Structures are given as C-alpha cells and as structure tokens.
C-alpha cells in the first residue's frame, strides 16, 4: 500500500522545493492519496485524535514551563514552596493561566483515554500481527514513555499527593536491594537504594528531585513526538489493518485518505474535543486529587496515596503483591508483556470478529482492566460486604492481576489450538459491497 507518489508540483517554487526537500510530497502522500481500507470504523479515528492531543500537550506545556519555577525551597514561613506558589501564580496572575493549566491537566486524561481505546482496538482487530510487529512495538514504547512523562508531571505541583507519590514510586527501586544488597562494601547501600538516591539527587525526595523531574517532563514529550513519527512511518509501509483483519487485494479495497478519512476523523475529533471542553470549563478537577491543593509536607503522610486514574490498574497490581520485590516485578512485567503480544497471539486469524471464543476472553480482559482501575483507587484496607461476608479488596486485585497475565500467556498462545474461527470474506470490497454473512469454517 506504499505505492509510487502521485504528487505533481504546480508552481516553480514547489518544483524547486520538491527537488531539494520533498516535504510537500511527503505530506501529500501521507495525508491525501494514501490508499486506506474502505471499511475502517470509528475505532480507527483515535490515531488522529491522539496526534491532536499530543500537540495540545506540547504547546500548553511549553507555555506553562515559561511561568513554572521547579524549586522545593520553602516559602511563607515554611508552609509552602516556590513550585507550589508558582502553580498558584499561574492560576491567578498569568493571563489565561487557569485555562492553560486545566487544558494541560485534562488533556493528559483525554490523551490516555484515547490511547487505551487505541490499544484495545489494536488487540481486538489483531493490529499487532505480521507484518505490523514493529508498528505495535513502537506504540508500546510510546505508551511507556507517556507513563513516565505523566508521573514526572504529576510530581511538579509539589502538593501533598505529588510529593508522596514521588516518594512511594521512587522507593520501589529499593526493592532491588534484595537482588544486590551491597555495592562497594559490606556497609554500602544496595543497588536499589543507590538508584533511588541517584533519582532523588540526595538522600530523600527534595529540590534536586523536583528539578530533575521537571527537566525530564519537558524533554520526554519531544521523545514521544519522535516515536510517533516512527510509528506513522511504520504504519505506511504495510498500510492500515482493518476490522476484518484481511489484507488489501487491490485498488477496489481502498479509498484515498482524503477526503474520506480526513472528514471522518475530523468529525469524531470534534466530538472528543466537546467532551474535553466540558471537563476544562465545567469540571476541571474531576479527575484531580484535592490533596494536591495542600503544599507538600514531608512530616504528614496522606491517608491514601494514589496516582492519576490512568495508572490505577498497574497500581492495583503493585499493591496486590505483599512482597515488595515481586510487586515491582509484576508491575514492570505487566508493561513489558505488551511488547511480546505479536508473538504471543498464535492465531492465523487477525480480527476477533471471526474468533468467537477469543472475543469473550477479550471482553473479560477489558472488564478486568476496568476492575483493576477501580481497585487501585480504593484504600488498601477496604473490603466488600457480600452477603454478610467481608472480602478484602486485596483478593479481587490478585485475581484481576492473575487474569491479566493468563490472558497474555495462556489464552493468546493456546486458545487458537481449540478454537474454530468463522469464515472470512475473500476481500474488503466483497464484505463492504456484498451480502454474504460470516459462517463457521469447515
């Protein structure tokens, strides 16, 4: 689907530019004439939505960085800090600073919501399978960098939840002390403690930590942008997957990207922006934490430390394992597992539309991720009252964590051995223009 270019320069200037830097040709071939399967549905619009929100996050972040002061130095008689005060100054003293901050904070939530839908769609329609393995891996790397960027940004306001979230998460590295207990002598700290102190820039979370996290939070969005460029490049080599999961057979199966999908993507982007605007203008703190409106206090621990909602499933996994080292391994293993999905899924059929058994396991997996997100938001000691029996939420979290790994390491590799897929159409054009319905394959 990455055929020859059809771009024709129409003026002397564009011909001169095209012979030296064919950027207009690249844009034309990427956004206008790129042959795209004619049956893409609404779930394929989130790539454009994600591109839009990445631009929003970068632009608002750059402007906010012009006014933010990454310093944990105490002010107001030791009751506040320079960083906390600078955030409040942005809200009160900077023209439209309140709008920029709420756009940035809620833009992160919309960004993650779109990326989760994008990833679930990729799993459902088999977008990770050959020849799109690199495309999937680049997508997972984008997601991992997004998680790191979001964590660094969560720390910057230097409120109570920011400070203690930084303390809890960076202390996870101390679990590695059980692997290498001493570095450089019997009385030297373990490797985990050394990594944690290197991140802190001292012996505890403080001013140096805040400066480092601010620097990384500013840098990583540009890393994401670079990975997105590679992601789009990797997409244009094999072309788009489609809901049927079958290869394009010829021109009859495709339409130009413009105007068919530019208009479609634009329509759904407008709907997504309406939801975004509703949050920004009417419920700007809907997904925020009220503890972050209290200046950081190292002497007072919040009763319940939680990350942002989009990291809650992994937080639930971490808390479900009482042994610290194994909890950390589960946390990072859950992320690393996503890199191997192209090879874990052994079915010869891409789309779960034609895999009736796998489809059921998939929707249980989606429900499991939502359940883990809910459990991650609850207090560790919380219980469910079921028919007079108190069930600690620790156990549902463990079951949810177990199913997460069972789905990838048991269901994906072994279910195809017993599953009979439905018969697939011979071509996209036949499915779109014909009347045949999927039937059980013989």
The pLDDT tens digits of the residues spanning 101-112 come to 999 999 999 999
In a domain, 390, yes or no: yes
Rounded-to-integer distance, Cα 317 and Cα 401, Å:
6
- For residues 194 and 302, state if they share a domain: yes
In a domain, 9, yes or no: no
In a domain, 47, yes or no: yes
Residue pair 161/285 in contact (Cβ under 8 Å)? The answer is no
Sole residue written with tokens 């329609």: 125
- Mean pLDDT value across the chain: 93
In a domain, 18, yes or no: no
Q: Given this model, what pLDDT does residue 30 score?
A: 85
Rounded-to-integer distance, Cα 381 and Cα 370, Å:
20
- For residues 291 and 378, state if they share a domain: no
In a domain, 437, yes or no: no
- For residues 386 and 263, state if they share a domain: no
Give percent above pLDDT 90 in the chain: 82
- For residues 154 and 44, state if they share a domain: yes
Q: Name, in order, each residue with C-beta under 8 angstroms of 388's C-beta and a sequence gap of 6 or more.
A: none
Q: How many domains does the chain have?
A: 2
Residue 441 predicted with pLDDT over 50: no
Q: Given this model, what pLDDT does residue 183 score?
A: 62
- 392 lies in which domain range? 311-346+356-420
Q: pLDDT class for 22, splitting at 50, 70, 90? A: very high
* C-alpha atoms less than 13 angstroms from C-alpha of 83 in its C-beta half-sphere: 28
- For residues 235 and 368, state if they share a domain: no
* C-alpha atoms less than 13 angstroms from C-alpha of 216 in its C-beta half-sphere: 19
Q: Given this model, what pLDDT does residue 184 score?
A: 59
- For residues 133 and 237, state if they share a domain: yes
Rounded-to-integer distance, Cα 153 and Cα 240, Å:
33
Q: What is the pLDDT of residues 211-268, one digit of tens each?
A: 999 999 999 999 999 999 999 999 999 999 999 999 999 999 999 999 999 999 999 9
**How many other C-beta atoms lie within 10 A of the C-beta of residue 230?**
14
**How many other C-beta atoms lie within 10 A of the C-beta of residue 145?**
16
Q: pLDDT class for 1, splitting at 50, 70, 90? A: very low
- For residues 291 and 336, state if they share a domain: no
In a domain, 393, yes or no: yes
Q: What is the pLDDT of residues 31-71, one digit of tens each?
A: 889 999 999 999 999 999 999 999 999 999 999 999 999 99
Q: Which residue has the higher pLDDT, 348 or 181?
A: 348
- For residues 254 and 383, state if they share a domain: no
Mean pLDDT calculated for residue range 176-194: 74
Q: Given this model, what pLDDT does residue 335 score?
A: 97
Lowest-confidence region among 285-289, 349-353, 396-400: 285-289
Residue 360 predicted with pLDDT over 60: yes
Mean pLDDT calculated for residue range 381-400: 89
- For residues 231 and 253, state if they share a domain: yes
Q: Name, in order, each residue with C-beta under 8 angstroms of 369's C-beta and a sequence gap of 6 or more.
A: 313, 404
In a domain, 396, yes or no: yes
What is the SS3 assignment for 422?
Answer: strand
Handedness of CA 326, 328, 330, 333 (dihedral sign): negative
Q: Which helix (H) or strand (E) holds 420?
A: none
- For residues 294 and 319, state if they share a domain: no
- For residues 187 and 291, state if they share a domain: yes
Q: Name, in order, each residue with C-beta under 8 angstroms of 74's C-beta and a sequence gap of 6 or more.
A: 80, 81
Domain harbouring 33, CATH code: 1.20.810.10
Q: Tokens in use for 7? A: 């771009």
Give percent above pLDDT 70 in the chain: 96
Q: What is the pLDDT of residues 295-319, one digit of tens each?
A: 999 999 998 899 999 999 999 999 9
- For residues 373 and 395, state if they share a domain: yes
Rounded-to-integer distance, Cα 276 and Cα 181, Å:
48
Distance of CA 272 to the CA centre of its chain: 17
Give the closest residue to 51 by CA, choosing from 183, 171, 229. 229
CA distances from 225 to 43, 120, 130, 260 (A): 22, 21, 25, 26
Mean pLDDT calculated for residue range 93-97: 97
Q: What is the pLDDT of residues 63-89, one digit of tens each?
A: 999 999 999 999 988 889 999 999 999
Q: Given this model, what pLDDT does residue 182 score?
A: 66
Please report, in angstroms and rounded to a whole number, the separation of the first and last CA atoms in the chain.
31
Q: What angle do CA 134, 139, 145 make, to 5 degrees?
A: 125
Distance of CA 25 to the CA centre of its chain: 31
> Beta strands of 17-66 (E only): which ranges?
35-37
In a domain, 434, yes or no: no
Sole residue written with tokens 């409040």: 88
**How many other C-beta atoms lie within 10 A of the C-beta of residue 215?**
12
Residue 2 predicted with pLDDT over 80: no
Q: Name, in order, each residue with C-beta under 8 angstroms of 405's C-beta and a sequence gap of 6 or more.
A: 333, 334, 337
Residue 98 predicted with pLDDT over 60: yes
Residue 440 predicted with pLDDT over 60: no
């Amino acid at each position: 689907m990455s055929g020859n270019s059809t771009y024709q320069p129409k003026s002397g200037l564009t011909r001169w530019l095209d012979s030296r830097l064919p950027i207009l040709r690249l844009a034309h071939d990427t956004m206008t004439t790129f042959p795209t399967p004619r049956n893409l549905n609404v779930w394929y619009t989130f790539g454009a939505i994600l591109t839009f929100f990445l631009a929003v996050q970068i632009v608002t972040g750059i402007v906010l960085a012009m006014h933010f002061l990454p310093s944990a130095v105490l002010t107001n008689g030791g009751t506040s800090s320079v960083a906390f005060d600078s955030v409040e100054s942005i809200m009160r003293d900077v023209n439209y600073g309140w709008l920029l901050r709420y756009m940035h904070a809620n833009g992160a939530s919309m960004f993650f919501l779109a990326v989760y839908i994008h990833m679930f769609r990729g799993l459902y329609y088999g977008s990770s399978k050959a020849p799109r393995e690199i495309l999937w891996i680049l997508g997972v790397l984008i997601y991992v960098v997004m998680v790191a960027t979001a964590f660094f940004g969560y720390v910057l306001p230097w409120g109570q939840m920011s400070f203690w979230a930084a303390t809890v998460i960076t202390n996870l590295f101390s679990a590695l002390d059980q692997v290498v207990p001493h570095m450089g002598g019997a009385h030297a700290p373990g490797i985990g403690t050394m990594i944690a102190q290197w991140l802190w820039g001292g012996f505890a979370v403080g001013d140096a930590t805040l400066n480092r996290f601010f620097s990384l939070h500013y840098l990583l969005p540009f890393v994401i942008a670079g990975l997105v460029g590679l992601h789009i490049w990797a997409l244009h080599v094999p072309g788009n997957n489609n809901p049927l999961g079958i290869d394009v057979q010829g021109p009859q199966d495709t339409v130009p990207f413009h105007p068919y999908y530019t208009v479609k993507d634009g329509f759904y982007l407008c709907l997504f922006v309406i939801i975004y605007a509703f949050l920004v203008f009417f419920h700007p703190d809907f997904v925020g934490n009220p503890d972050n409106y209290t200046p950081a206090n190292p002497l007072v621990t919040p009763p319940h430390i939680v990350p942002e909602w989009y990291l809650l499933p992994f937080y639930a996994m971490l808390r479900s394992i009482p042994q610290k080292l194994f909890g950390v391994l589960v946390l990072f293993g859950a992320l690393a597992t996503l890199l191997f999905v192209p090879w874990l899924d052994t079915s010869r059929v891409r789309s779960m539309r034609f895999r009736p058994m796998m489809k059921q396991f998939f929707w249980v997996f989606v429900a499991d991720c939502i359940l883990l997100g809910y459990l991650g938001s609850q207090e560790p000691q919380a219980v469910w009252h079921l028919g007079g029996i108190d069930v600690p939420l620790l156990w549902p979290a463990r079951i949810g964590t177990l199913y997460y790994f069972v789905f990838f390491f048991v269901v994906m590799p072994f279910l195809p051995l017993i599953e009979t897929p439905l018969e697939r159409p011979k071509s996209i054009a036949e499915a779109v223009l014909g009347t045949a319905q999927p039937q059980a394959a013989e």
